[in-house]
Structure 1
Amino acid sequence: MAAKILANLIIMGSGILARSLVQAYRQALQNASKTGVAQETIQNTVRRGSKTMVEQEARQVLGVTESSSWEEILQKYDTLFERNAKNGSFYLQSKVHKAKKCLEAVYQGKGQGPG
């Protein structure tokens, strides 16, 4: 009987805590909007939650510079992708693939990449 009461108290308490955290977050956003910080906070949250890679990170992953040609990027991609396929690092292999896709979009925008 005591365990059931304790379990109910824990469940009710966590529900109250969750509601109060949401309310506090909303209040913080309202306060931040008065100073213009809210938009920046939202953008940072979206950026962090996004699974897309930015150009600078993609260049770091592949080890290329802004002056690298598309052919150089493909060579680096092929080398790193195959190396990670052999060593069994799926995480690194997926980072390499995402980096190539990111730079592919950049180079297509410049008219230099794949057609």
Structure 2
Amino acid sequence: MDWGEASRIIAQLLVMGSGVLVRAVAQAYRQALANASKTGVAQETLQNAVLKGSKIMTEQEARQILGVPEKSSWEEILQKYDNLFERNAKNGSFYLQSKVHRAKECLENVHRGKDQGAVS
């Protein structure tokens, strides 16, 4: 037996072994999914991921972040937003700046809804 033939046999064994390994991993994954669906773990995990991923800021939370009362005008909200956004841009954190921005977006949607309700 020469080296060429030996290397060909080794290559064939590696290919066959990797095929067996891939099939075993796929089978184990299918079995894990089946077990998870029987116990409800998969559904609970998916529901938790959706809830965490789609956490929407409430109007009350937005007002607390910007420090504006419920009766405040849109101009007052924008003034508070500009002040807080700029302050965090200079020496604050990106996280706080993004929270301020999300709060403004939330209250903007609230004010649009009130304006559309008044026009209709």
TM-score, L = length of structure 2: 0.58
Instruction: Tell me the secondary structure at the aligned position of residue 68 of structure 1.
Output: coil
Q: What does residue 95 of structure 2 align with?
A: 91
Partner of 1:56: 60
**Which residue of the partner structure matches residue 40 of structure 2?**
25
Q: Does structure 1 conserve the Cα–Cα contact (< 8 Å) formed by 2:37 and 2:43? A: no
**Please, which runs of 5 or more residues in structure 2 have no aligned partner?**
1-20
Matched length:
91
Which residue of structure 1 aligns with residue 16 of structure 2? none
Looking at CA atoms only, which structure, 1 or 2, has the larger radius of gyration?
2
Q: Deviations over 1:33-83 (max 9, x none)?
A: xxxxxxxxx6x8744331432211111111112111111111110010001
Segments of structure 1 that go 5 or more residues without pairing to the other structure are: 1-7, 30-41
Aligned to 1:4: none
CA RMSD in angstroms comes to 3.2
Identity %: 61
